[in-house]
Structure 1
Amino acid sequence: MPQTPPFTEQLGPSGYQNSYQTTEDSRAGLCYQDNNLVSGSLEALIQHLVPTVEYFPDRTYIFTFLLSSRLFIHPYELMSRVCYLCMEQQRLSDAHTDETQVRNLAPRMVQLLTEWTETFPYDFKDERMMCSLKQLTQRLANGDQQVYRKAVVQMSQGLLRRLTVLSQYEEALSKINATAAEQLTAVKVKPQVTIHKDLLSICSDPFTVAQQLTHIELERLGYIGPEEFVQAFVQMDPLDNDTSCVRVHQRTNTLEAYVEWFNRLSYLVATEICMSVKKKQRVRVIEFFIDVARECFNIGNFNSLMAIISGMNMSPVSRLKKTWSKVKMAKYDILEHQMDPSNNFYNYRTALKGATQRSITANSNREKIVIPFFSLLIKDIYFLNQGCVNRLQNGHVNFKKFWELAKQVSEFMTWKKVECPFEKDRRILQYVLTAPVFTEDDLYLASYDSEGPENNMEKDRWRTLRSTLLTPA
């Protein structure tokens, strides 16, 4: 897993108002506030990234700039600029350059490139990135610097390994999605056939199911690259020289796949409830998922918790009043209180803060687990991006904003590195990932079949759904 930059409170000012005296290094084109870098020209910030014999950038700066720079410049363009500055300013392209200079600079450049390839490996899916990387590392590894050659080889092998693992993961996701689609098609071909298999028939222990959901969460979190949080905000910068083309970046599907997983779990919960023919069984299924959700909360798996609650709050489920009247609501009310959206999810944020503090002092992976409610995390990052400009009036990059952005993403990077401590149950995982999941219309039809329509609007919808879904094509 990529290493996470150790962010601390003082590394990025929390406010955005220019209420403090600022100082500017006119030579470097960088502006500081209380000894913190707050803005600079893009060129100066790129220069600040490139090591010299006497200087190496702070790891927090490397992470923050590589994360945010893609809002202004393609990663492959940035790599080209880094290579140029390294080769030309350090005269590495000169055949007569003193080998001592190369020897002193090589480990610093290898360290920077290692940080880049470990933390943002998906940038190197672009062949142009790989070409620039190869050219620079070949020059650095020339001569008798055997130790640097070894470091370059290790870096390159590590990068290829990460990209291979990503490719295998994406292939596995495709197979899982194909299996799920096949099973759903099989159900729709014979809609009158009752589905006997359900999650409770596979495992009736809510703690075990919560553990397996945590396995899925941590695996899918682990493949999300930090740059994916920024990628959605990428658009043409008004100060770009090339205004004739649309900015396009190398994309991965890992963030989208994780959002789809949340939706699948929500619909799976609703499907399991609505497909139960008897009221007693529906009550049992609802209470089972309440217990699963409670165990997810105890583990620190807030994303699965919210997905389960969302599934139970879907209209086809919530309208089952006769069923809900038999449910023991005390535990469910506690969970809904914890995930109450009022006051900007104040209760959830308090619980998340507690789980985060626990993870910091934890001695075991079990206590380190923090899986945030992902949609809210994305929303927070989105509003941070929307609430502050990328460029200041003088054309400088608003680096104060990007310290804050990097701090949020860096915290996520810490959470996603935790290895799941629970033993895998292949049967549960296979079922949760591939079992048929009903569409909203299918859920409504099953809901009306369980507890009949209560008013004319529901009766009209029921008749429409029956004629649409149950009539052979």
Structure 2
Amino acid sequence: MDIFSTSRNKDNEQWSTVVEEQDDGVIYTVVVKQQHGAPTSPASVSRSQCVKAGTEEKLVLHLLHSFSMGDSSFITIFLSTYRSFTSTGRVLDILTDRLENPPGGNEGSRMRQSFNRAVCTVFSTWLSEYPEDFKSLEEPSRLLRLVPLLPQDSSSAADLSARILRIAEALSEKALLPDARKDHTGPTGPPPDASKFEPTSVLGFPAALIAEQLTRLETELFVRLVPYHCLGSLWSQRDKKGREGVCWSVRATIRQFNKLANAVLASCLWPTGLRSQQRARLLEKWISVAEECRARKNFSSLYAIVSALQSNPIHRLRKTWQDTDREAVRRYEELSEIFSDKDNYSQSRELLKEEGTAKFANLDSRPNNKLLNRTNAQGTVPYLGIFLTDLTMLDTAVKDRLDNGYINFDKRRREFEVLAQIRLLQSSCKNCVFTTDEAFARWYQSVPLLTEAESYRLSNEIEAPGEPSPRGVPPTVIITQCPNLSTSRNSLTGDSDSLFDFPSPVNNLLSKLTKHMKSPSVSCLDVDTSSSTNDSTPAALTPSTPTKSHRRSISCGNNPPNNIQGSGPEMRIIRIRMDLQDGNLYRSILVTSNDKSPTVISSALEKHNQDPKQTSRYELIQLLPEGKELVIPATGNVFYAMSSSSVDFLLRRKGGIAPPGSQPINTETSATFPRIKAKGRRLVRTLF
């Protein structure tokens, strides 16, 4: 037993001791509190045991004992995060095995009654919060085995058995109807007919109506969002073969984000015959819509519109922006600032903290504010990319398992803090009521899909390329990759009871991680780079390709200002894939200046669910531009050996064959810093 800390409250004569205890297959963080009253009265002692780490079986069984041990939040946290380290079927198997051998002897004993109450609590919570877990089982055998073992000593227990039995019957019917198992979460219906699209028709809809309809769509999607789909360990596997249906609720949000951004691009670029003054009215319309979305706390649609207006095909339209109303441009600049990646999106986070559960947006500081009829309270629809960033960073920075192989449940507690913020925002949206405007819905569905090439072609037809943007043109290209996150004093160190103050365990970790981080040069979302962007909505807004950074790494001699003496090792996030037939899945790995090749290879193998003990059989290769490769020395320091021109790496078995067209190079030439070409012209990609 290790004592972590002892504290004393002089006013109440209360002592608190935090220790760590290890049992068979589990490690507990134990908090012992002693309350001293009058000298003649005995001291009261309270003790709580929270699981820090454990084996899969012990974590599952702790569900049945967590309340009695003072770990009241364990059930909620486990059910929100367990899919990152086990499966629904495995959890059911372990619990069912335990139910076959219940404690306490006869049914009337106090131990058996306490056990039965715990069983009912666990399964009732599970069914209420995540019924899809049971409905997604391939067949009903597990549930049919479970039902006879459930307690039957109360009406609530009997009702629980009946609910699970109904799901088992539905699974039996589903097995007999294969068509019912198809995934219908993707886009349905024929593609829109471009010949029927009328871009300027959007001018006929009031900006408030458009924003209301967009908020309706976003709210419906956000309420249906399954928070655990945002977990970094699940989101990074979304493109893995056989897991195409994973994180469907996040994909649906991304599709809507891209669809709206495409609508902005298409309406502003499609009518190539317009005069610049006429096209400027379209920009002003979308700026007004963005303002109305802000008033409705619809940050997702707001960012989609801002991103589209900042994309290169629209940003480069010099004459159009010159003819745009200056007041509209000023308001647009203010809206753009909300999504600045400065200090880890500190302004966006601050707004969520202030307005997340408030009835209305805080717009009182704006003059002549007539944007919203405040008789109807609004829920908050956040930009989901901020949460995906936090969860991906957590997944990358914190180990899934301890050195002894135990599952690190403290990591799940930190992830749950982010998921709890999402769930609180969802609760603010559940009672919102909207009506559908059929005319706008028809226009919105008629918008054709523009590819990247088509967007550029239309933009060049409007204004010939080569003319520089004038001084004072407001739109600036924003690269919203995994940003150079630094600590925000305003949003990350506040002390409040609200969940929107971003509780300290998560933010302390992110602050420590990002304080020393240079430009990670990698998208926050693990991606499968085999997918093409030609069939996507504006390529600037799709998640399929990370932006590239041209900032030097430490190996090129560019020390970041935050690197003060004693602040810890330098850090960088890289992406590693396996040299396999289906090897396009990248996993993000945190590399510090202390990490040697064996350490990085071992971490990468574990991330790819391979045996980390096989480190000696693999070599680490950096994939450089123009098909070149850099082999990292077997015992070298990866941080200093890598080139700054790429964050993509490959794990290849020693003696393996290099892919066709690759050009191995030596360490000397790899340090050459690539020349920056066509600065600002590449279409940037957001987190979505």
- Same fold by TM-score greater than 0.5: yes
Q: Quote how far apart the aligned CAs of 1:437 are.
A: 2.6
Residue number in structure 2 paired with 1:153: 162
Q: Which residue, 437, 443, 450 being the options, matches 1:431?
A: 443
Q: Which residue, 282, 287, 303 being the options, matches 2:284?
A: 287
Kindly tell me the number of residue pairs found equivalent between the two proteins: 408
- Higher RCO (C-alpha under 8 Å, 6+ residues apart): 1
Residue 72 (structure 2) pairs with residue 77 (structure 1) = no
Residue number in structure 2 paired with 1:453: 465
Q: Quote how far apart the aligned CAs of 1:152 are.
A: 3.1
Matched position secondary structure for 2:52: strand
Residue 68 (structure 2) pairs with residue 67 (structure 1) = no
- Given that residues 296 and 361 in structure 2 are in contact (C-alpha distance below 8 angstroms), is that contact kept between their aligned partners in structure 1? no
Q: Aligned runs of 1:118-267 on 2, under 5 Å?
A: 118-127=128-137, 130-140=140-150, 146-154=155-163, 173-174=185-186, 177-179=187-189, 181-183=190-192, 186-187=193-194, 195-196=197-198, 198-200=200-202, 203-230=204-231, 232-233=233-234, 251-267=246-262
Change (3 A) 1:452 1:29: closer
TM-score, normalised relative to structure 1: 0.74
- Given that residues 280 and 323 in structure 2 are in contact (C-alpha distance below 8 angstroms), is that contact kept between their aligned partners in structure 1? yes
Percent same amino acid at aligned positions? 20
Q: Quote how far apart the aligned CAs of 1:126 are.
A: 3.6
Change (3 A) 1:74 1:147: closer
Residues 287-335 of structure 1 deviation map (CA, whole Å, 9 limit, x = unaligned): 1111111111121111111110011111111111100111121111111
Matched position secondary structure for 2:191: helix
| CA distance in structure 2 between the partners assigned to 1:104 and 1:31 by the alignment | 22
Residues 419-442 of structure 1 deviation map (CA, whole Å, 9 limit, x = unaligned): 333333233234334521311211
| CA distance in structure 1 between the partners assigned to 2:221 and 2:144 by the alignment | 30
| CA distance in structure 2 between the partners assigned to 1:68 and 1:377 by the alignment | 15
Change (3 A) 1:113 1:38: closer
Residue number in structure 1 paired with 2:337: 337
| CA distance in structure 1 between the partners assigned to 2:136 and 2:393 by the alignment | 29
Matched position secondary structure for 1:344: coil
Residue number in structure 2 paired with 1:46: 60
| CA distance in structure 2 between the partners assigned to 1:168 and 1:223 by the alignment | 20
| CA distance in structure 1 between the partners assigned to 2:398 and 2:150 by the alignment | 40
- Given that residues 261 and 304 in structure 2 are in contact (C-alpha distance below 8 angstroms), is that contact kept between their aligned partners in structure 1? yes
| CA distance in structure 2 between the partners assigned to 1:272 and 1:317 by the alignment | 11
| CA distance in structure 2 between the partners assigned to 1:366 and 1:447 by the alignment | 40
Q: Quote how far apart the aligned CAs of 1:106 are.
A: 4.3
> Alpha carbon RMSD of aligned pairs, Å?
3.9
Q: Which residue, 395, 412, 418 being the options, matches 1:408?
A: 418
**Is the strand fraction higher in 1 or 2?**
2
Moved more, 274-283 or 25-34: 25-34
**Is the helix fraction higher in 1 or 2?**
1
Q: Aligned runs of 1:369-448 on 2, under 5 Å?
A: 369-417=379-427, 418-419=429-430, 420-433=432-445, 435-448=447-460
| CA distance in structure 1 between the partners assigned to 2:245 and 2:264 by the alignment | 34
Residues 163-204 of structure 1 deviation map (CA, whole Å, 9 limit, x = unaligned): x9xx99997754xx343x521xx32xxxxx584355525x52
Q: Quote how far apart the aligned CAs of 1:447 are.
A: 1.4
Report the AA paired with residue 267 of structure 1.
N
Change (3 A) 1:36 1:337: farther
| CA distance in structure 1 between the partners assigned to 2:131 and 2:391 by the alignment | 22
Q: 5+ unaligned residues in a row in structure 2: which ranges?
A: 1-16, 32-47, 363-373, 469-688
Residues 393-440 of structure 1 deviation map (CA, whole Å, 9 limit, x = unaligned): 233332222111101112212222323333332332343345213112
Matched position secondary structure for 2:20: strand
Q: Which residue, 268, 274, 293 being the options, matches 2:269?
A: 274
Report the AA paired with residue 32 of structure 1.
T
| CA distance in structure 1 between the partners assigned to 2:339 and 2:251 by the alignment | 23
Report the AA paired with residue 341 of structure 2.
P
Residue number in structure 2 paired with 1:8: none
Q: Quote how far apart the aligned CAs of 1:136 are.
A: 1.8
| CA distance in structure 2 between the partners assigned to 1:22 and 1:129 by the alignment | 44
Change (3 A) 1:197 1:27: closer
| CA distance in structure 2 between the partners assigned to 1:309 and 1:337 by the alignment | 10
Residue 83 (structure 2) pairs with residue 86 (structure 1) = no
Change (3 A) 1:50 1:198: farther
Q: 5+ unaligned residues in a row in structure 1: which ranges?
A: 1-19, 188-192, 237-245, 457-473
Q: Quote how far apart the aligned CAs of 1:80 are.
A: 0.6
Change (3 A) 1:224 1:196: closer
TM-score, normalised relative to structure 2: 0.53
- Given that residues 199 and 268 in structure 2 are in contact (C-alpha distance below 8 angstroms), is that contact kept between their aligned partners in structure 1? no
- Given that residues 143 and 168 in structure 2 are in contact (C-alpha distance below 8 angstroms), is that contact kept between their aligned partners in structure 1? no
